[in-house]
Amino acid sequence: MMMLTAWKPIQLLFLFAVFAILGWLMEQVLYFVTGRAALRGWLSGPWGILSGLGGIVLVTVILPLEMYWFELIPVLMVLAMVLNGLGVLGHKVFLGAPLWRFSMGFSMFAGLLCMIGVELSDRILWLMDWLPAPAMLVLLLAFYLPFTRNVIDGLALTLFYRRRMEDLEDVASDKTPRYKEDALAILAPYRRWLWAYPAFFDATAQKMLRFMSWADCRAFLAETIG
């Protein structure tokens, strides 16, 4: 199997798209089965960025090493832990709050799930060779056009979260007649994250407690997530 430098950009884009969708689907199934809310993800849709990056590393770097399965599993677990940790760190740095908490157990389990990607890798590579170039281009456009829009939306939510909390503090201190409506409007863009990620919900609640009562904080967050 080819190493990373031997891959064409369009092939890497295709690998990222396929593994991003597969990772998102596995996460939805996992959290549905365990009773947690689905619709997780930094982006609103089947775009698991960490899964896509992990898939590229898996196919272009790890699989060409031709390891035995008992060597491959711990390597995949370490890969999952690194990606999970980078995701947590990135949110703390740029968002100012954790979207999820780092979990060693979940990372190890995710590493085991990566074996599904190992089993599917040959079929994915076959599909890449079988698809005509125009068909692959159409599929990539169908993936990356909405993906790009969602990345822009996700970056806006991430980079302006601190500012939104400051706006919420201003609204809470002024106590205008439209206080409740304004507060809910500020929180509304973050509804999905508040609903799907307890860590983000708790972090947002802690920020709000600096300038409003516990009762108001819980009431606003509960109404926001429905």
The 10s digit of each residue's pLDDT in 104-122 is: 877 887 887 788 888 888 8
Cβ-in-10-Å burial (0-12, 13-18, 19+) of 124 comes to: middle
Give the chain's residues under pLDDT 50: 2
Q: What is the pLDDT of residue 140?
A: 94
Q: What is the pLDDT of residue 37?
A: 54
Q: What is the pLDDT of residue 156?
A: 93
Residues 71 and 19: their CA atoms lie apart, in Å, by 22
> Which of 66, 62, 1, 55 is CA-nearest to residue 23?
55
Q: What is the pLDDT of residue 152?
A: 94
Output Rg (C-alpha) for the chain, integer angstroms.
20
For the chain, the domains span 4-155, 161-225
Q: What is the SS3 assignment for 216?
A: helix
Q: What is the pLDDT of residue 3?
A: 52
Residues 140 and 12: their CA atoms lie apart, in Å, by 11
Q: What is the pLDDT of residue 221?
A: 86
Q: What is the pLDDT of residue 183?
A: 83
Model's pTM, two decimal places? 0.86
Residues 84 and 90: their CA atoms lie apart, in Å, by 10
Q: What is the SS3 assignment for 207?
A: helix
What token pair was written down for 95? Answer: 């968002």
| 126 phi, psi to nearest 5 deg | -60, -40
Q: What is the pLDDT of residue 129?
A: 86
**8 Å CB contact between 118 and 70:** no
> Which of 67, 112, 97 is CA-nearest to residue 159?
97
